[in-house]
């Protein structure tokens, strides 16, 4: 899929699926019934409704039984989908680059507090899939390619969330290696690879107290994740002892009978296969029994009851959004995420006194890119571009477009500059769920990197990316930073790193 098609696709998806909601409010309604009493009191229709979503992100309410609606929320880099001033943190792949458990705990705590402010109790995070395919459109949503690192950061994230009283949903179970044709993709994995590479982070999440698991779109060894008896019943529930509920990814259920008998507990965003008509037909045909439905309702209610969700106000008024503390955590996370890949000529750290004129190049020079899709937050907070940050700090900035190298006068500007910074790579159009991204950075951008380094040795390239890219041009660039997707504090963190206020952490060669 070329970029123009991706741009059109993203516009359609944002309009259809990413509308912003107002925060949910409601009084305190204590549910006095036990879980068993609730199930006994529910009608068949109420049970069927309860195992499917409503309003895109919500679990049904049953007013007569004092069951409040329970909202879920997308979350990778912050609380997404709400018309609120939420904090935007670095993407999970950037969090992983910090190798900092305590920092991830702080990020999770801040996100969960904001989750409670908007009225949600179920966080659709963390994502722990392994980066098996370097071009997978959702790699930026995960903690990288190492099972141990992914598991440790998931543990930190989940334990912090539990203390705030937010239910985490570890995802996408399992082997979500690609987003290309994701409804038909089949991840064929041998047993040893499954348990040594793809499942350890999920196991760590379960051991750490996650109460919800989200299945993936794909098939695993020929069986869809949402109805995969081996993974859900044998591994997750029997082998690992998971007692929570299993939720589908949005529109990732493909049958009624198989999914009811040994699959997910909750179909989202609404009942397509878990609807009254299809379930009653399966009951009439003796393909399923009502106790199969009861079991799913039981799994959901047990989690909501034991976590206290059914016995508290819908939103928590003791927390606030976008607090100074949350912003400080976002900045620290962005700062620690930045990775120095090359410094061959020892250009970094710079001497600030020698820098007055900076030429800024690259497609991301005027933007703060983020991965696209269901984790992309539409900003309600002020976000300053890297170019504006440099100007505010008193530097003379000359910003040139991507084809500057075709003009001799612009080449002269680059030659005479005290510093050249190229901010390029990928963005939310290139890198998103629904499709995989290119392995190559755009040819014009690579051409600009090569030409700029020929003209001025004081050239720094910054790459925004949620995963691996073709490094065939890297030999031409002696100074290279990987900045992933850093959230609202990207410009502050980059400025402080490059202008030597903060110290870079080397990546092992």
Supply the residues annotated as catalytic.
249
Close Cβ partners of 85 (under 8 Å, ≥ 6 residues apart): 321, 322, 380, 381
Decide: residue 241, CB within 10 A, 0-12 exposed, 13-18 middle, 19+ buried. Answer: exposed
The pair of three-digit structure tokens given for residue 138, joined into one six-digit string: 């959702």
Q: Hey, which bits of 184-301 come out as E strands?
A: 186-187, 212-215, 219-220, 223-224, 245-247
| Residue 363 burial (CB count, 10 A) | 22
Helix axes 324-337 and 101-118, enclosed angle (nearest 10)? 140
How many beta carbons lie within 10 A of that of residue 200, not counting itself? 19
Look at the alpha carbons of 25, 29, 34, 40 in this order and tell me if their dihedral is positive or negative: negative
d(CA 321, CA 323): 6
CB 205 within 8 A of CB 154: yes
330 with 190: CB under 8 angstroms?
Answer: no
C-beta separation of 321 from 114 below 8 A: yes
Torsion of CA 211, 217, 223, 226, to 10 degrees: 40
Residue 53 has phi, psi (to 5 degrees) of -85, 175
CA atoms of 24 and 5, how far apart (whole Å): 35
Residue 28 vs residues 57, 72, 381: alpha-carbon distances, Å: 21, 19, 30
Q: How many angstroms separate the Cα of 69 from the Cα of each of 25, 227, 335, 409?
A: 11, 26, 38, 63
CA distances from 13 to 6, 7, 91, 429, 432 (A): 10, 10, 20, 12, 11
Terminal-to-terminal C-alpha distance of the chain: 34
């Amino acid at each position: 899929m070329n970029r123009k098609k991706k741009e059109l696709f993203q516009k359609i998806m944002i309009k259809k699926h990413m509308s912003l909601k107002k925060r949910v409010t409601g009084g305190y309604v204590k549910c006095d019934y036990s879980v068993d009493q609730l199930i006994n009191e529910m009608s068949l229709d109420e049970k069927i409704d309860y195992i499917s979503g409503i309003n895109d992100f919500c679990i049904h309410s049953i007013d007569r039984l004092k069951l409040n609606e329970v909202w879920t929320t997308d979350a990778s880099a912050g609380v997404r989908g709400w018309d609120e001033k939420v904090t935007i943190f670095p993407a999970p792949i950037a969090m992983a680059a910090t190798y900092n458990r305590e920092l991830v705990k702080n990020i999770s705590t801040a996100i969960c507090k904001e989750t409670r402010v908007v009225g949600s109790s179920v966080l659709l995070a963390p994502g722990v899939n392994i980066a098996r395919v370097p071009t997978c459109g959702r790699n930026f949503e995960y903690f990288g390619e190492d099972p141990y690192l992914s598991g440790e950061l998931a543990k930190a994230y989940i334990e912090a969330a539990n203390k705030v009283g937010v239910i985490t949903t570890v995802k996408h179970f399992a082997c979500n290696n690609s987003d290309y044709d994701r409804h038909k993709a089949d991840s064929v994995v041998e047993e040893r690879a499954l348990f040594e590479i793809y499942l350890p982070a999920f196991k760590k999440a379960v051991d750490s107290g996650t109460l919800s698991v989200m299945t993936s779109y794909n098939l695993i060894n020929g069986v869809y994740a949402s109805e995969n008896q081996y993974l859900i019943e044998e591994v997750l529930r029997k082998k690992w002892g998971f007692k929570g509920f299993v939720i589908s990814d949005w529109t990732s259920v493909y049958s009624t009978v198989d999914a009811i008998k040994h699959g997910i507990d909750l179909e989202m965003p609404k009942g397509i296969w878990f609807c009254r008509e299809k379930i009653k037909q399966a009951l009439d045909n003796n393909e399923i029994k009502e106790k199969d439905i009861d079991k799913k309702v039981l799994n959901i209610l047990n989690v909501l009851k034991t976590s206290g969700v059914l016995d508290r106000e819908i939103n928590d008024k003791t927390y606030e959004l976008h607090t100074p503390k949350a912003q400080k955590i976002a900045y620290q996370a962005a700062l620690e995420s930045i990775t120095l890949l090359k410094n061959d000529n020892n250009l970094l750290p710079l001497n600030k006194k020698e820098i007055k004129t900076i030429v800024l190049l690259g497609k991301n020079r005027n933007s703060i890119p983020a991965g696209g899709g269901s984790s992309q937050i539409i900003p309600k907070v002020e976000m300053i571009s890297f170019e504006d940050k440099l100007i505010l700090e008193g530097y003379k900035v000359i910003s040139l477009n991507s084809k500057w190298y075709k003009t001799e006068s612009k080449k002269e500007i680059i030659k005479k500059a005290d510093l050249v910074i190229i901010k390029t790579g990928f963005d939310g159009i290139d890198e998103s769920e629904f499709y995989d991204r290119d392995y190559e950075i755009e040819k014009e951008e690579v051409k600009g990197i090569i030409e700029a380094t020929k003209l001025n040795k004081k050239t720094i390239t910054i790459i925004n990316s949620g995963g691996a890219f073709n490094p065939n041009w890297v030999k031409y660039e002696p100074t290279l930073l990987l900045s992933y997707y850093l959230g609202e504090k990207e410009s502050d963190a980059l400025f402080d790193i490059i202008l030597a206020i903060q110290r870079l952490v080397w990546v092992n060669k």
